[in-house]
Structure 1
């Protein structure tokens, strides 16, 4: 049964499930597995903090995702379809796992972040 997003444990569940999909995705997975050679323990930890801060305003995220995405774009060009795929997978993951106000909020915030990231990265 789906629940609402209530706390960090729910964020961890969302992030882990989402990135399991991303790693296997034919359109964007290679950015993480072949281009960036992501250290998953480090990346997931940052993403827990990022989304926890987005939804619960706890201030525990530090970092500059724009810089990271620009660096990645220099290694392998990204385009709008990549950001749209990221957002599609994110929304699907949220919808599979959660319902309620926070689920709707995180999807809206993710869409806004993806668009801002896209415009600032591939300009």
Structure 2
């Protein structure tokens, strides 16, 4: 199994992941119907996001939390949605990569999913 080592690897991972996401019955609508994601803009941001997280290359500029609040106002982003996101992410990594950075990508995604689910829940209560 290949190690997750380069930006090109991240691009492969992110592209494979979002191919699954847009076909997924539980979470696709957040991306396609509600956020109406412009994939030409979104994918490079996600490459930079994960490159920053995994390799310390500070190429990402943005506020991932802020981007999710407007979606959460339209349709509640609940724990089960973040669990599905994490499941697809983990599955995609395990199908394509191994090693320390692959493990780190799963670990970081687990933390992101927990934090996002918590913050979206709090936002719905306010």
Return the TM-score normalized by structure 2. Answer: 0.95
Matched residue SS, 1:89: helix
Partner residue in 2 for 1:76: 75
Partner residue in 2 for 1:95: 94
Partner residue in 2 for 1:48: 47
Partner residue in 2 for 1:33: 32
Return the TM-score normalized by structure 1. Answer: 0.97
Across the aligned residues of Structure 1 and Structure 2, the Cα RMSD in angstroms comes to 0.6
CA distances 1:52-107 after superposition (whole Å, capped 9, x unpaired): 00000111101111111111101111110000000000000000000111100110
Q: Distance in 2 between matches of 1:30 and 1:117?
A: 18
Q: Distance in 2 between matches of 1:11 and 1:86?
A: 17
Partner residue in 2 for 1:19: 18
> Is the 2:52–2:58 Cα contact (8 Å) retained in structure 1?
yes
Q: Distance in 2 between matches of 1:121 and 1:50?
A: 20
Q: Distance in 1 between matches of 2:110 and 2:66?
A: 19
Q: Please state how far the C-alpha of 1:31 moved relative to its aligned partner.
A: 0.5
Partner residue in 1 for 2:65: 66
* Unmatched runs of 5 consecutive residues or more in structure 1: none
Partner residue in 2 for 1:86: 85
Q: Please state how far the C-alpha of 1:16 moved relative to its aligned partner.
A: 0.1
Q: Distance in 2 between matches of 1:84 and 1:91?
A: 10
Matched residue SS, 1:14: helix
Q: How many residues align?
A: 122
